[in-house]
Structure 1
C-alpha cells in the first residue's frame, strides 16, 4: 500500500513537471492532486509492481534536474529579454567559415597581425614603423574622400623616401626608407593597384586574406608583416547622392569582383540594375533609388562588414531583419578594429588624428585639397525620406562612427601618443575640435550646388597586378 501511494505521487509529479516545462507554467501553480488524475485507476496495477516502482523512481531522479532547469529557462524568457546575441561575433564568423565548403580562407587571418587603434594607443610596440615590416592598408569606400586621402599618402607625405609616381599610369612605387627595395609600406590603389578587385571591401581585403596573399607572392613569405587597416566614412545621405551623381556621369565600377567565400556572386544573387552594354549614364535619381540591387544603398555598412556571416550575397537563406542586424554589428566591430578611420566632414580632425597616431606628417592640409565640381540635384522631401529609409543601416553606422571618433579624439588629447614629428608641422588639436552642438546630419536637407570631392577616374580602371 505504501509503495502504491508513493508510486502514484511520483508519477503525478513527473507528469506535472513535464507539463510545466512544455507550457512554461511555474511548477508551483499546477495542481498535482492524486485524486484528480484520470490515470489513477489505470496506474494501480503498475504501482503494485516492485520492479516498476524502482524503475519510475530512478527515472524521476535522473530527469528532475533537466525539467527544473528547462522550467526556469522558460519562465526567465517571459520576464526578461536577452540583451545581446547568444553567440559572439567571432563565434558567428566561425560558424560561417565551417559551413562553407568552398572557402579557402584561414581562420588565423582574421586577427593575423592586424593592429587596432587601441593597441596603437596603449602599446608602444604596436606603433607604426614605416621602415620595418608594417603595411598601411586602405579600404576605399566610394565617395568618402578616399581618393583625396590616397593621393595625399603618395604625394604629400613627408618621409625620407617619398613615393615615386608615374602620372600616365596613376601608379606610385612606395618603398620602405632605408630598407629592401622590394618591399612596400602602402597597400592602396595608387601603390599596389586594385589587385584585390576594384574598390575591394573589408571581406575581400581582410577576411579573404587577399592583402597578405598578394604581398607574400610579391615579396616572399618570410616577413612577419603587421597590417594597419584604415578607411574614410562620410555622411550617408550626401555620400549616396554623390555616388548617384558619379554614376549618372558614367561610372559603373563593373570591374568590381565582390568576392566572398572564394567566389563572386551569381547573377541570381546580385542582378544588375542596368544593361552593361549601355551603362547607367543619365539615370534619374528616382530610378537609381528604385533598384533593389543597387550597391550604393547602405554601401558603407556592407563594405565594412564581414559578409561571410550572412551568406555573402545570397539573401534567401536568412531573414532580412536578422541579416541587416548581423551586418550592422559586424561593420561596427570591424570599424572598432581599424587602426584609423577618418570622416569627410571633419578632415582637419582626421588629419590630426592620423599624423599623431602614425607618427607621419603631411606637407599640405587635407581639408584644402578638395577640387570641386558644382552640381545641381533637385531632391524633393519625398525622395529625401526614401533615401533615408533605404540607407538606415549606414545612418546608424555613421552615428556610431561619430561617437567613436569623438571618443578617440578625447583619448588622444588626454593620454595619447607622444609627438614623434616636429610639433610645428602638426595641426593644433584644439583648433580642429568642433565645440558646436552635435547635429543629426542624416536629417539635413542636401544643399544645392554641394561641393564635390575630387573626381576620380576609377570608372575606367580595372584590377591591375602589383608589379
Structure 2
C-alpha cells in the first residue's frame, strides 16, 4: 500500500484481484467486493480448478477475480492487464487456529482426514508450501509478485511478501474489519461500506487462554514470518487510515465543526461514515455523467446502498439477478436522479415471493428520502409482486444527487424457510430484482405494467372501453389500466369509499378483492355488467346506450359463484371444528 495512490478511480481496463488468504473473513469480503461490479464483470470461478473452464480470452474480459484462486497464477494469466490487488491480513495465531478448527468441522474438506488426527500444535508447526511452513499469509502475498517461491529461503520469501504488500492497493486488517471497509471505500470512492453480513463464520472459537503456554509459544515461533508481515501490514494500515481521516476532515470537517484527530485516534463511527458519504458523492460526480430525470436500477448493476445480502445472479440469464434485504430490517438504495418539479412514481419488483415468509412480505414499507410512502400492489403472483407508490415533488429536492429509498420489514427470517440448501444460513426480508423512479406523467413510457397490457384478454377489455368511454368519466380498475386511460383511473380502495364518483368499474377476477363489498356498492349505485371474459368483468352506470350482460352470463357468474362457494365451505368447516 505504501506505493499505491491514496485514492484511485478504477478504470474500465483495470482488473481487481482479491488475494484470498484462508480464514481472513474472505467469504464476507469477497461478497462486498462483488457489490461494486456488474454481474457480467465478475469471473464466476471461485476455486482454482474452475479457472480451467474459461479460455484466456474469456478471463481477460472480467474485471473482478475473487475466491480461493491462490493455486492459479492469476497475474500470469492476466499479463499486460492493469491488476489492482487487494487482500486482508489476520493475526497469525488466531488465523491458524481458525483454519484448524474449520477443517476439523468440515468433512468435505480435502484435508479433513489428516487434520482430524492432528493436534493444533502439530497442524500449526507442520510442513507447508515451500520452505516457510504454515506461514500462508507470506506464501500468498509473495506469490503475487513471483508465483514460484519454492526455492526461496524463509527470509527471502518474507522480503518478497513485504515488497508485494507495498504494491497492493489495499490490505485490510481483520481485527479492524469495519475500519478496513471504511478505508477501502475511501481509496476507491465507494459509498461507505457498513458491514452487516457474516458469511462462513464459526459459531465458537477456541480462546488463546485455553492453549497450553508451551504449545502457544511454539505456534507463535512457527508463525514468525506471518507475524512480521502482519505487523508491517498493521503499520501501513494505520498510516493510511490516519492520512484518510486528515484528508476527510480537511475537506468536510467545517460542515461538522470538526478538528482532525491525532494519529492513532479513530473518529466516531457516525462522524466518519458521514465524512465518507460526502467524499463518495464528490467522487461519484467526478466519475459519472450527470443523472437524468429517470432512474432505473436492476440488481445486476453495482450496488449503492446498505443492509443487503449478497447478490444472487442467474448464470443462465446474464441480465437477471435479485438481492435479498437483510440481515438487518432496514435496507437503503441510492438512486441518482435530477428530478423535474413534478410528482414521481417509484416502482419495484419483489421476486422469490414463494420463498418469502408471508408476514415479512405483508410488513414491507418504503420510504423516499425519509418520507413514508403509501405502497400499492400493482400486480401479484406466486413468484412476483410489483409495488408502486406516488412521490410528491417536494420529496425530491433538486439539490440532492441521490434519492434514498429505504425498504423496511418488521423482521427477517431464515432463507431456508423454503430453501432446501442447509448451507445457506442468511437471514432475509424480501428479494428485489428491479426498481425505478420516474415522473408520474411518463408512466405509460416506463412502467413495468406495460407488460400486463400485452395479453389478448386485457387488450380486448381495453378496446371495448376505449370505444365507449367518455372523456369526463372516471374508472376504478387495476393499475395497468392507468396506462391507456391516463388521468381517468383510480384504485379499488377509493371506489369503496366514494363509489358515486365513478362511472366504470373493471374487476380482475384473480385479485384478492372484497367482492361482496364491491357487489353491494355496485347494486346500490346502479352499476351493471356490460363486458366479461375469463379475466375481467366491466361494470358501468348511467349509460343506457351500453347494453347490459346478465349476471348469469358464465364469465360474469364466475366472479361471485366461486367466491360464494369457497366462503360457504369455510363456514361449514368452521362449524365442524366448533
- Give the TM-score, by structure 1 length: 0.44
Q: Whose RCO is larger (CA < 8 A, sep 6+)?
A: 1
Q: Give the structure with the larger helix fraction.
A: 1
Q: Give the structure with the larger strand fraction.
A: 2
